[in-house]
Copies of this chain bind each other. A is one copy, B any other.
């Protein structure tokens, strides 16, 4: 034991002499804590397995609020509290049914109502189908071709972009705006090809947004395999047109009271200046919400836990914010931004993890270009040994986005894990704890803690 007491400080001095900075040693400490003693994985297991789905307004969402508050209290953070926020309360109702009907045959296919969708008539909705690839094609077909039909948006994910989020962005208008646009031309319902590269049997749910002044027609996601089959059948010459039948009894209830859950370590030098690190606590009703976004919230809590565990006392106040209602309303993010303005809070930076708990690649920065160049120049080499050194220009996240409007000057940062597997499971029942790798998750938490440490140390001044 005595020998160790002598050797360890010597090692420390030697490492410094060998050109390793205090920062690189501190980051190594952060990683060691995350990888050797990390709590992220066990916390995520609890959230997924003991609580599970937690769509805004649900019992699961309330349980997640209560448990994460208690968890952060038990960690002994300086302050743990809730922010009230009224959230949309949509419920799926019974499991949906759907069939392709062609020439006296009836083929069952997997669908899932889009979040926010209205129900079909009680006995379901049956109509001829028309396939379109885009909102533009819909427009060009017009009322003459669309009226009375179920519109089938079938534009596939483009495989060419390297980041899968780009493909998601390119295909996403079909789900978000498709139902509302199709209604304008007299469509009676909409089915949307699931937003994924994967060819499988899982419908991927997700929000759609109706034009408040327009007619609301029922809308559902269909699995990619079923979409391919439907498209194939539509191309065959048949005596009768292909029809589609689906039944869903989802509904939107009155807004419900819910909460953002916040934990803080108070700054030792600039307690009034805040660095936020967060993810969203709500998930889709079909999933455990492991990667979306259980990983992000548990990593955010872990950042603060690591700081306490390694006795790092930050200069600024560090806040873990578990946002409510990212999936279907963003009310938590908006409330957080609104209160920041009302309370005249000073925000240095906000970091969001909402792209899955996959192996880290780096971070994207929404900052003045000059500042971005400085921080990249100073920090990239520190992340290199951890394969998390891709510091790119442009970034942020849905929940921290509103902060930019209410607190000008705040630097927004998106945590960037590898994107390849995310949309295989996104918004499906496959988004479960078992699909999260412990080390990938922990490395993400360590990368996030390291970045928050560097922001805290520098105050973003170089």
Question: Which residues does A use to contact B, with CB under 8 Å?
Answer: 31-32, 35-36, 159-160, 162, 164, 197-198, 359, 361, 385-387, 390, 418, 420-421, 424, 437-440, 443
Contact A32:B437 (CB < 8 A) given known A361-B387, A420-B359: no
Once bound together, how far apart are the Cα atoms of A421 and B421, in whole Å? 13
Q: Which residues of B contact A361 (CB under 8 A)?
A: 387
Contact B421 A164 (CB under 8 A): no
A197-B438, A438-B197 known; A387 vs B386 contact (CB < 8 Å): no
Residues of chain B lying within 8 A (CB to CB) of residue A162: 31, 385-387, 443
Among all A-B residue pairs, the 9 with the closest Cβ atoms: A35-B159, A420-B439, A359-B418, A420-B440, A359-B420, A421-B437, A36-B159, A162-B386, A32-B160
A439 touches B164 (CB 8 A): yes
Q: How close is A155's CB to chain B, nearest CB, in angstroms?
A: 15
Give the chain B neighbours of A439 by CB distance below 8 A: 159, 164, 197, 420
Chain B positions within 8 Å of A443 at CB level: 162, 420
A446 to chain B, nearest CB (A): 9
C-alpha gap A98/B386 in the complex (Å): 40
Q: Which of A35, A385, A387 has the most CB of B within 10 A?
A: A387
Give CA–CA (A176, B418) in the complex, Å: 34
Measured CB to CB, the nearest residue on chain B to A28 is: B160
Closest to A385 in B: B162
- 27 residue pairs of the A-B complex, CB under 8 angstroms, read A31-B160, A32-B160, A35-B159, A35-B160, A36-B159, A36-B160, A159-B439, A162-B386, A162-B387, A162-B443, A164-B439, A197-B438, A197-B439, A198-B438, A359-B359, A359-B418, A359-B420, A361-B387, A387-B390, A387-B418, A418-B418, A420-B437, A420-B439, A420-B440, A420-B443, A421-B437, A424-B437
Contacts of A390 in B (CB 8 A): 387
Nearest CB of chain B from residue A231's CB, rounded to whole Å? 18
A35, A197, A420, A424 interface centre (most CB from chain B within 10 Å):
A420
Question: Apart from A35-B160, A420-B440, A421-B437, what 11 extra A-B contacts exist at CB < 8 Å?
Answer: A31-B160, A31-B162, A162-B387, A162-B443, A197-B438, A359-B420, A387-B390, A420-B437, A420-B439, A420-B443, A421-B440
- Minimum distance in angstroms from A398 CB to a CB of chain B: 23
C-alpha spacing A32/B160, complex, angstroms? 6
Q: How many angstroms from the CA of A160 to the CA of B418 in the assembled complex?
A: 20
Residues on the B chain within 8 Å of A31, using CB: 160, 162
Shortest beta-carbon distance, A385 to chain B, in Å?
7
A31 to B159, CA, bound (A): 10
State in angstroms the CA–CA spacing of A176 and B390 once bound together: 37
Q: In the bound complex, how far is the Cα of B197 from the Cα of A164, in angstroms?
A: 28
State the CA gap A438–B199 with chains docked (Å).
10
Bound-state Cα–Cα, A437 to B424, Å: 9
Q: How far is the CB of A344 from chain B (nearest CB, A)?
A: 41
Please give, as numbers and ranges, the residues of chain B lying within 8 Å of A386 by CB-CB distance: 162
Output the least CB separation between A417 and chain B (Å): 10
Whole-angstrom CA separation of A162 from B32 in the bound complex:
10
Contact partners of A197 in chain B: CB under 8 A: 438-439
CA distance A359 to B416 in the complex (A): 14
Residue of B nearest to A199 (CB): B438
